[in-house]
Amino acid sequence: MKLRTQLLLAVAFTLLLPVASWHYFVQLHDVLRASQRDTLALRLSSVATVLPHLPDHALLSASSTSANDMYADTVAHAIALDGYAEDWSSLSRPPRELSPSASGTEAIEPVVAARVAVSPTHVYLYLAVTDDMLVWHDPVSGLAASGDRVMVYLQEEDGALREFVVRAIAPGKLQGFERVYYKPQKQGLMPASQIEAFWEPRATGYSVELSLPRPENGAGFGFSVVDVDANAAELTRTGTFDPTQSTQVPRLWYASQALQTALEPMVPPGARMRVFSPDGWTVADVDRLGELPRSEQVIDPRTAGLVDALLYRLFHWMRVQSGEVVDVVVVEQEDAMRQRASLERAASEASSRLYRSSGVLVTADVQPLVGDTPGYLLLEMADETTGAIVSSTLVRMFGAFVLTTALLVAGLLVYATRLSWRIRTIGSAATLAYQGDGEIRTDIPGCGAGDEVGELARTIRTLLRALASYTDYLQKLASRLSHEMRTPLAVISTSLESVDRQHLSEADKAFVERAAKASARLQSLVRSMSEATRLEQAVQATEYEPLDVRDWLPIATAMYRDIYPHADIVFHARANQKATQPVVVKGASDLLQLMLDKVIANAVDFTPSDGVIRIELACLDDQAEIRVSNPGPPLPDIGAQAVFDPMVSRRPEGGTDGHLGLGLHLVKLVVKAHGGRVKASNQDQGSGVVITIRLPLARRSHA
């Protein structure tokens, strides 16, 4: 178990008291919510009692034409008539989609999207019509309306039906006409100055935006869009009213200002009350949710202290995340049937949920109205539960304890993080102490600390220094052995050569012959060790001069072809180098030649008879890269960089050629002396080995 995990388990025991406090908070929350629901129900009952005595309560009656009734959203300003829907985007109610009359029962794609709004003086109608062929009115046709047109119907208090026509001969602003009957069976159109309109073509048809004086709430109001063909023959009528099919004019509903004014004293700050007709239309809407209640027991998170504000938002967030909050209580619908369904659904489940209304978290309840004033009454109150809980002394203590616990946990985590970071730093330094280059780095961070971690760092540093000293001893062992073995081997070789083999038996001759071969092998090994020692000394005393690697490698390749006639050795310069561009390094040509000799000799030994040894040159940003690749067996499992260590060989065990694995070690010594790097890697799919040598450039080459 990691140190941080152990500390977290220790801290977990300190969380028992906050958990118990939170359990108490949940119970207190439920009690306050129940109390607020009771307050909602009591206020709804009192409003329902006085509602029949308020102005415009007669609007709470069912409509016989509810399927075709239109509800108008209330706007505070006049809508600009321009044929575009931008002014309508702020309305909450979606467009009413209408399809043309059809005898069958198959669903028909809607061709008219209608929206209605009222201001204090006017009613506005926006129609987006889908029409594959727009027919303009032809003034010379002799017809009162020869093209596509919009019919608007208003019913007076005495039941008389007024019919208005909006037609267009071109896009732009229009004036409406009223159909009048001046003789029996005679009719005509007269300009109606009270109706203004704007006709705007669209890619899929056209849009019409019109205004007329606002009728009484619940007055008869309908419209139909008449689509004609090129010969002015009527094709379809689409809308809410067709006088040729029905005599019942649908109604226009909107919120009653008189009823809203009467309800305002009954709605406290931080609440919203809406009255709906039996058909689901909003008859009154008094919104005071933006007015915070004046109560010392309720906290305003915008002006409260830091701790109170944080707790308020914490409790609010936890309730929102629990899935208890729903976006809206009642979804504004475009027709009565859907609107009633939304209200009935809200009446069955509203009291058990929290909602967002006008950007405020609210508790809501819907009460169906019965008797002389049927309909629905919806009351929303800003949820004061969170503020009330935060205001209590118990929760303030809970908050202080949670804050203290959080600081304790944070402090322990910081301590554990720092402690684990120190240990990981020491571990990383110990891991990187040996990187395959034969050197052991003994620098361990944190050795100056006086605690147990510092003691651990000092112990690891002592071990690494001892290991580095022993490694240095082993690296110098070859030169010592070669020096100590040279004289005894000379004596042995001389003695074997002086033996008179003619007087020896065949068995004795075999023994002497094996001894001579063993002596020759030992002498070869001593020479190799001496050569490595001399090279180390030569590296320290050699002077470096500029060398053009591009000129040197082709000459060396030709020389190797002569030395190894049975081997196929080729040179190739990478495509990113121009033929005349020099690649200059600063080095000792003799040492670099020796380095390449060892690499090529190693490649020749492992390359099959039909293999090709490739010498490649590339110039990187600030380095010259020499790659020698050969087919053959892959690198052994000892590691790619271990083949450059002394006394390491990848040749089969039991060989008699006297190899100590010093060839590639000499290559590493030369490359390191020139400030470069060397690495060995397997080719793709283990088909051979690549030795990559990178030497720093003496200067940048220019074409």
For residue 107, give the 3-state DSSP assignment: coil
Question: Which residue has 């070859």 as its token pair?
Answer: 478
| CA 177/CA 655 separation, integer angstroms | 115
The CATH 3.30.565.10 domain(s) of the chain lie at 542-696
Q: Does pLDDT of 596 surpass 70?
A: yes
CA distance 120 to 198: 21
Per the CB < 8 A criterion, the answer to whether 381 and 271 are in contact is yes
d(CA 672, CA 474): 19
Angle formed at CA 618 by CA 612 and CA 624, multiple of 5 degrees: 120
Q: CA–CA separation, 180 vs 614, rounded Å? A: 104
Residues 6 or more apart whose CB falls under 8 angstroms from that of 364 comprise: 40, 329, 346, 350, 351, 353, 355, 357, 378, 379, 380, 381
**Phi and psi at residue 80, in whole multiples of 5°?**
-70, 130
Q: Is 83 exposed, middle or buried (0-12, 13-18, 19+ CB in 10 A)?
A: buried
Tokens of 674: 């020139």
Alpha-carbon span 674 to 532, nearest angstrom: 17
CA torsion angle for 432, 437, 440, 446 (degrees, to 10)? -30
Q: Please tell me the predicted confidence (pLDDT) of residue 574.
A: 75
In tens, the pLDDT along 343-378 reads 888 777 765 567 776 667 777 888 888 777 788 898
pLDDT tens per residue, range 134-192: 999 988 887 788 889 999 999 998 889 999 999 999 999 998 999 988 776 778 889 99
Query: Residue type for 660, please?
Result: L
Residue 72: left if φ>0, alpha if ψ -120 to 50, beta else—which one? beta
Q: What is the pLDDT of residue 640?
A: 60
The phi and psi torsions of 653 (rounded to 5 degrees) equal: -65, 150
Determine if residue 359 is left, alpha or beta; phi over 0 gives left, psi from -120 to 50 gives alpha, anything else beta: left
If one compares 82 and 335, the residue with the highest pLDDT of the two is 82
Strands 70-71 and 252-253: parallel
For domain 70-250, which CATH number applies: 3.40.190.10, 1.10.357.10, 3.40.50.300, 2.60.40.1190? 2.60.40.1190
CA-nearest of 244, 15, 228, 249 to 153 is 249
CATH 1.10.287 domain range(s) in the chain: 452-535
Higher pLDDT, 502 or 571: 571
Question: Nearest CA to 25 among 344, 291, 339, 385?
Answer: 385
Q: Are 401 and 415 in contact (CB under 8 A)?
A: no
Q: Please write the tens of the pLDDT for every residue from 646-681.
A: 655 655 554 445 455 567 878 888 888 888 999 988
| CATH of span 452-535 | 1.10.287
pTM of whole model > 0.75? no
Close Cβ partners of 232 (under 8 Å, ≥ 6 residues apart): 135, 138, 141, 143, 146, 147
The Cα 361–Cα 366 span in angstroms is 16
Residue 666 and residue 530: Cα distance in Å, rounded?
12
| pLDDT of residue 247 exceeding 80 | yes
Which tens digit of pLDDT belongs to each residue from 408-452? Answer: 778 877 888 888 888 889 988 888 887 655 678 888 888 888 888
Here the contacts of 1-5 (C-beta below 8 Å, separation 24 or greater) are 2/420, 3/416, 3/419, 3/420, 3/423, 4/413, 4/416, 4/417, 4/420
Instruction: Using DSSP, state whether 377 is helix, strand or coil.
Output: strand
The per-residue pLDDT for range 20-42, each reduced to its tens digit, is 777 777 777 778 778 878 888 89
CATH class of 542-696: alpha beta
Cβ partners under 8 Å of residue 417, min gap 6 = 4
pLDDT band at 262 (very low <50, low <70, confident <90, very high): very high
* Residues paired with residue 162 on neighbouring β-strands, in sequence order: 154
Give span(s): CATH 2.60.40.1190, the chain.
Answer: 70-250
Which of 332, 254, 330, 284 shows the shortest CA–CA distance to 73? 254
The chain-wide mean pLDDT, for the chain, equals 81
pLDDT in tens, 273-308: 999 888 888 899 999 887 765 554 556 566 667 766
Share of the chain above pLDDT 90, in %: 28
Nearest to residue 60, comparing CAs of 269, 282, 338, 302? 282
Strand (E) positions, 139-202? 149-155, 161-167, 172-183, 186-202
Instruction: Please tell me the number of Cα atoms within 13 Å of 57 on its side-chain side.
Output: 18
| Of 534, 596, 591, 538, nearest in space to 563 by CA | 596
**End-to-end alpha carbon distance in the chain:** 61
Of the pLDDT bands very low, low, confident and very high (cuts 50, 70, 90), residue 223 is very high
Query: Which two three-digit tokens encode residue 527?
Result: 């020479």
Residue 309 and residue 261: Cα distance in Å, rounded?
A: 35
pLDDT reading at 104 higher than 70:
no
